[in-house]
Structure 1
């Protein structure tokens, strides 16, 4: 997890925000006056020092925080799926115990359902 009160995180965020603000200003200036692509590339390279260890640390912290988020999200989904599967298994077990397969009413109900479905299928095919 990322501690938002950590001065390192604040410093990293400031560096990233400054780089993005520079990007936005260059984009706005590009619309106002044409700049050669070579000049644009030089400006982009000059704004961000990719060898800066603080920038690398900031990127690592952000990446680690995001990876942790993804793992927690996946784990939460797995836990919910497991709980749902268990509930469904319990429900199916209960239903199986309550149904009397020799009941003539059950045969009538099954026949009615099958006939309705066949009619639906036929109407849909037409």
Structure 2
């Protein structure tokens, strides 16, 4: 839509909808944050034990994936650093060879 053809009422309605959506999201997140503690006290011990095993298993899997991703990221960073260093060393060597007063230039000719 072209902004020139929009009425101020439409803009106000959209702004109000965004504010309401933001508040509703905040309220839902707050309610979810408060409810897990009350739900755990009402659960039976067998389902609690089963959930804890599932939670522990999920935590192990997540920890393994996170470790893998961190190691992969570090490896990529190391490769990038090596390429940057190699590029700079090549630049510096070419610059030193190009300079007229360098001793290395005379020994190579």
Q: Give TM-score, length-normalised by structure 2.
A: 0.47
Normalised to the residue count of structure 1, the TM-score between the two structures is: 0.42
Higher helix share: 2
